[in-house]
Amino acid sequence: MMTTQDNILLKTAIKMRHEKEFKASNRILKKLDAKYPLNANIQYQYAWSFDILGQEREAVPHYYAAIDNNGLESVDLENAYLGLGSTLRSIGSYDESLDILSKGTELFPTNNALKVFKGMTLYNLKLLVY
């Protein structure tokens, strides 16, 4: 269970991200990650912060932890699948990306962004040709 102070820190980190203070936000999330490594929301926010900083490889384990730790709200879980799938695609892990995006489209069949990234991954794998 997070303390009130740490909840405030998490909200501050998210606010800083919205204000484009990406590095400062990431530093706060790093501290929260050290204290709460099993907190799915912190893992999700931390992964997102790495993506924004262009550090996709660092984002991957945190996206997995966010998904695996069963604690995200539905919309955040949906976005975690999208973030992980698109990040894996961007670093060239196409098979892994396809697995995640396929699972995401099963769980969230109305999410068109998941379908688009899945299509792009299929194209990268040369399984979809235009």
pLDDT digits over 7-19, tens only? 999 999 999 999 9
pTM here? 0.94
Quick one: pLDDT band at residue 54, thresholds 50, 70, 90?
very high
Helices within the chain (DSSP H only): 4-18, 22-35, 40-52, 56-68, 74-90, 94-107, 112-124
User: How far apart are the C-alpha atoms of 25 and 58, rounded to whole Å?
Assistant: 15
* Residue 42: strand, helix, or coil: helix
The predicted pLDDT at position 128 comes to 76
User: How far apart are the C-alpha atoms of 85 and 79, rounded to whole Å?
Assistant: 10
Percent of the chain at pLDDT exceeding 90: 95
